[in-house]
Chains A and B, each alone.
Chain A
């Protein structure tokens, strides 16, 4: 991993068009400003990690009784059923 030291208001450029700027450092928190083209998604890593985790816990061996789940769902949507 490339490690660079930066001060507030200094930035780094990744490729031709992604700029990451240190906006503020306060205690343990660093605020970063990211300028990137609209077609480059920027996510907090925890979000990716939590989607990964959620997918892993959603995977099924087909034992879930979907009919029962379906009945409860329909009852919830329309209690008269």
Chain B
């Protein structure tokens, strides 16, 4: 699960990767296949696009970018679903939420996306008894110190 590779390498190696969620993700159970779109200029953020509906896209990122000591503990049930015996067999991403007209950009650390590296089976797991936030602020107060603070424009069409 450790991501020690450089951003540039990661962006190019991930671009186009397919992700298969046998049970979809929570609220989007019928969408099972996604594809990662990554570019160096967008690091550490990636797009995760539904293959069945172009209107369904998620922004995802490596949780270690926002929480250095992030250590999800995955239940036996989730491990069975992912067909792994050890968490090290997985990569982990979290969904980022960029609400329209708000600077509360957050990452869902409580329900990460786990990916079986070898078999490419993915699952949104819900961590139990772990004190992680569903809305972990990505930019927090630091944002206010940055001159270009018009974050609400992120959510507008280019």
Q: Which residues of A line the B interface, CB within 8 A?
A: 38-43, 47-48, 50-70, 72-73, 75-76
Q: Are B45 and A57 in contact (CB under 8 A)?
A: no
Stretch at the interface among B12-20, B84-92, B136-144: B136-144
Restricting to B40-56, which residues have a CB under 8 Å from any CB of A? Answer: 41-45, 47, 49, 54-56
Interface size class of B (residues with CB under 8 A): 35 or more
Given A58-B95, A63-B158; A52-B27 close (CB under 8 Å):
yes
Q: Is B70 an interface residue (CB 8 A)?
A: no
Q: Are A39 and B153 in contact (CB under 8 A)?
A: no
Name which of A39, A43, A58 has the most chain B CB atoms within 10 A of its CB: A58
Minimal Cβ-Cβ distance residue in B for A62: B57
- A32–chain B nearest beta-carbon distance, Å: 15
Measured in the bound complex, the distance between the Cα atoms of B113 and A54 in whole Å is: 14
Q: Are B97 and A66 in contact (CB under 8 A)?
A: no
Q: Which of B43, B75, B146, B153 contacts A65 (CB 8 A)?
A: B153
Contact sample, A vs B, 24 pairs, CB 8 Å cutoff: A39-B75, A39-B80, A40-B77, A41-B78, A41-B126, A43-B128, A55-B26, A55-B27, A55-B95, A57-B99, A58-B58, A58-B59, A62-B47, A64-B98, A66-B59, A67-B41, A68-B154, A70-B42, A70-B43, A72-B143, A72-B148, A72-B151, A76-B142, A76-B143
